[in-house]
């Protein structure tokens, strides 16, 4: 490609409306353009890198026998009837001109299983593996981090159908291997972690996490091979035999002290002496979650227990409806509210808790004062908690979830009636698995791990072009002649010929910013048939004969 004809606009400054470095660089380097919050245009450079990732994904999925196809993204809403509640506001719902309810596909388990259901009669047709690379639409509550959490994004989604648990296990392991290959080939530093299956059930799931400080996922790892998403880490609990010192709770004034932090200062106590009380709205019901003051509520555990579609913090107005006041909630005398406490609360004595009145708390409260409907494992694990496998203390890391593999077992086949006749002529539900990769999120994660002060540093197989040919002076006939000769010889489909009329410095800066891995500088040694090969990643520069260029 000749850059003089190319559609490329780079920027001197970082955009002000992107929040992380990978997205700032993608916009600055002219890979993508923001269309609206959570919606992006893929410009020629970004489009090419996305295509290169897709090619690697295709090669690995084809290798394990999955067939590529394409579902519509505009779908009948009724296809999702059985779990439409769980998508809640995340699903883009639309009507056509005849008032038919349509939607933009957020994920495609249902259309795929309905397709297979129609075609499937006998065990002889199994296993089946299908995949597509297609746009997905989710009205994310907080679209951010550019392509990482967008409203429209590209996903590779795959679905498998097996005759039994053993078959699903074999397929799941093959996909896991394919995912390891894919993420290794795109050059990511990643770790697979055990993750939560969510309210949709199924027996196993793992997420592929790119290691990164901007990751939204917390991973606990002890190095024994058991890395787990914080959402999923079970917290062990042993009942202690601590006895209360006080037999009566005492009302104290706590003006303007609503958070544990403010109370710690005001009452001069430890965080662990407070009972943290958080009110949620779970669909249309109120739930009070109680954890020790130095702990956090694990909302995944709470959501799974409640089997709700939407879990959100109650609004200030909601507190009146449960007979309490925001910031001063106590687990007594509440109305219309289920109270769930973390197991550790069993061991708390003489603690501080809200009194359901403004600027008021109780001190020296005890469990006998409270009305608790259920105790369960409700808290987030913390660094130092013991690994459930080896017992060593775990450390916390941040990760970007780039892929997710699930065993759904017979969840979808039973709810949508996808059955087959087995070897004995018996009707059985098919065992399914589903497997996703966020293509844009993967590109973002690669950049998040590979950049420097000059710009993007992509690996050769993901960079939009492997080579750039850069004549120092485009008015110099000798240089241009040699540059043309190199361009004619190389794979023009993977090379940019920088024949723009701008200064050398400007053009070099651009090529460094967009992260071309090999820059062939044609300068003063052109007459001797020599060029400088500049490796962007290692900053190595070497003078070589053009015959020695390896394309």
Binding site for ligand ATP (CB under 6 A): 107, 138, 140, 148-150, 153, 155, 401-404, 436, 438, 440-441
Q: Give the number of other Cβ atoms within 10 Å of residue 241's Cβ.
A: 5
Residue 263: how many CA atoms within 13 Å on its side-chain side?
27
Residue 283 beta carbon to ligand ATP: minimum distance, rounded to whole angstroms:
19
Q: How many helices (H) and strands (E) does the chain have?
A: 12, 31
- Distance, in Å, from the CA atom of 296 to the CA atom of 299, rounded to the nearest integer, reads 9
- Cα 1 to Cα 11, 472, 474: the distances in Å are 21, 18, 16
Residues 6+ apart with CB under 8 A from 51: none
Residue 302 beta carbon to ligand ATP: minimum distance, rounded to whole angstroms:
16
Residue 207 beta carbon to ligand ATP: minimum distance, rounded to whole angstroms:
7
Residue nearer to ligand ATP on the CB measure, 71 or 267: 71
- Cβ-based burial of 354 (10 A; exposed 0-12, middle 13-18, buried ≥19): buried
- Distance, in Å, from the CA atom of 378 to the CA atom of 385, rounded to the nearest integer, reads 15
**N-terminal to C-terminal alpha carbon distance within the chain:** 15
Residue 425 beta carbon to ligand ATP: minimum distance, rounded to whole angstroms:
37
Asked whether the beta carbons of 494 and 465 are under 8 A apart, the reply is yes
- Distance, in Å, from the CA atom of 187 to the CA atom of 19, rounded to the nearest integer, reads 23
Residue nearer to ligand ATP on the CB measure, 167 or 215: 215
Helix (H, G, I), strand (E, B) or coil at 44: helix
Residue nearer to ligand ATP on the CB measure, 215 or 354: 215
Buried residues in 512-538 as b, exposed as e (16+ CB within 10 A): bbbbbbbbbbbbebbeeebbbbbebee
Residue nearer to ligand ATP on the CB measure, 51 or 548: 51
Residue 310 beta carbon to ligand ATP: minimum distance, rounded to whole angstroms:
14
Residue 439 beta carbon to ligand ATP: minimum distance, rounded to whole angstroms:
8
Residue nearer to ligand ATP on the CB measure, 149 or 507: 149
Best CA proximity match to 512, nearest among 531, 539, 490, 473: 539
Residue nearer to ligand ATP on the CB measure, 434 or 468: 434
Best CA proximity match to 51, nearest among 347, 416, 440: 440
Residue nearer to ligand ATP on the CB measure, 107 or 525: 107
Residue nearer to ligand ATP on the CB measure, 231 or 342: 231
Residue 169 beta carbon to ligand ATP: minimum distance, rounded to whole angstroms:
20
Asked whether the beta carbons of 209 and 402 are under 8 A apart, the reply is yes
Residue 90 beta carbon to ligand ATP: minimum distance, rounded to whole angstroms:
9
Residue 342 beta carbon to ligand ATP: minimum distance, rounded to whole angstroms:
23
Residues paired with residue 406 on neighbouring β-strands, in sequence order = 205, 434
Residue nearest to ligand ATP (CB): 438
Please, what is the angle between helix 21-28 and helix 439-449, to 10°?
100
Write the DSSP assignment of 417-434 as a string of letters. Answer: T-EEE-TTS-EEEPEEEE
Best CA proximity match to 329, nearest among 369, 305, 298, 358: 358
Residue 457 beta carbon to ligand ATP: minimum distance, rounded to whole angstroms:
22
Six token digits for residue 387: 């690994």
Residue nearer to ligand ATP on the CB measure, 52 or 292: 52
Residue nearer to ligand ATP on the CB measure, 407 or 441: 441
Residue 403 beta carbon to ligand ATP: minimum distance, rounded to whole angstroms:
5
Residue nearer to ligand ATP on the CB measure, 68 or 140: 140
């Amino acid at each position: 490609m000749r850059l003089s004809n190319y559609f490329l606009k780079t920027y001197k400054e970082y955009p002000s409306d992107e929040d992380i470095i990978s997205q700032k660089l993608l916009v600055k380097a002219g890979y993508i353009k923001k269309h609206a919050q959570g919606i992006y245009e893929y410009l020629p450079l970004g489009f090419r890198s996305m295509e290169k990732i897709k090619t690697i994904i295709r090669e690995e999925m084809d290798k394990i026998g999955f067939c590529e196809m394409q579902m519509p993204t505009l779908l009948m809403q009724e296809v999702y009837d059985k779990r439409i509640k769980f998508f809640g506001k995340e699903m883009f719902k639309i009507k056509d001109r005849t008032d038919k309810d349509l939607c933009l596909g957020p994920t495609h388990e249902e259309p795929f299983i309905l397709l297979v259901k129609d075609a499937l009669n006998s065990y002889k047709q199994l296993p089946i593996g299908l995949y597509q690379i297609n746009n997905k639409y989710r009205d994310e509550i907080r679209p951010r981090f550019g392509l990482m959490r967008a409203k429209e994004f590209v996903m590779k989604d795959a679905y498998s159908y097996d005759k039994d648990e053993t078959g699903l296990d074999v397929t799941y392991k093959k996909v896991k291997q394919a995912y390891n290959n894919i993420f290794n080939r795109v050059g990511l530093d990643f770790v697979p972690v055990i993750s939560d299956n969510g309210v949709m059930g199924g027996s196993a799931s793992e997420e592929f996490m790119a290691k990164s400080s901007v990751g939204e996922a917390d991973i606990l790892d002890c190095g024994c091979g058991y890395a787990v998403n914080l959402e999923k880490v079970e917290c062990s609990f042993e009942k202690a035999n601590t006895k209360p010192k006080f037999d009566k709770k005492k009302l104290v004034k706590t003006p303007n002290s609503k958070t544990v932090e403010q109370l710690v200062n005001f009452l001069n106590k430890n965080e662990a002496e407070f009972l943290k009380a958080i009110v949620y709205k779970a669909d249309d019901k109120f739930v009070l979650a109680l954890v020790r003051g130095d702990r956090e509520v694990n909302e995944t555990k709470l959501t799974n227990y409640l089997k709700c579609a939407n879990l959100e913090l109650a609004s200030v107005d909601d507190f009146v409806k449960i007979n309490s006041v925001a910031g001063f909630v106590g687990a007594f005398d509440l109305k219309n509210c289920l109270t769930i406490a973390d197991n550790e609360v069993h061991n708390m004595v003489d603690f501080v808790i809200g009194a359901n009145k403004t600027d008021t708390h109780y001190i020296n409260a005890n469990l006998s004062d409270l009305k608790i409907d259920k105790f369960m494992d409700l808290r987030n694990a913390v660094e130092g908690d013991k690994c459930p496998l080896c017992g060593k203390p775990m450390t916390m890391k941040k990760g970007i979830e780039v892929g997710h593999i699930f065993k759904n077992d017979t969840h979808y086949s039973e709810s949508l009636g996808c059955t087959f006749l087995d070897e004995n002529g018996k009707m059985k539900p098919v065992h399914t698995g589903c497997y996703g990769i966020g293509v844009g999120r993967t590109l973002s994660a690669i950049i998040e791990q590979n950049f420097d002060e000059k710009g993007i540093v992509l690996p050769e197989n993901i960079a939009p072009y492997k080579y750039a040919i850069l004549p120092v002076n485009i008015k110099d006939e000798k240089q241009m002649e040699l540059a043309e000769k190199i361009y004619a010889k190389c794979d023009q489909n993977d090379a940019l010929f920088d024949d723009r009329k701008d200064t050398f410095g400007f053009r070099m800066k651009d090529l460094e910013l967009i992260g071309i891995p090999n820059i062939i500088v044609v300068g003063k040694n052109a007459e001797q048939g020599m060029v400088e090969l500049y490796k962007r990643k290692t900053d190595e520069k070497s003078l070589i004969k053009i015959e020695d260029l390896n394309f």
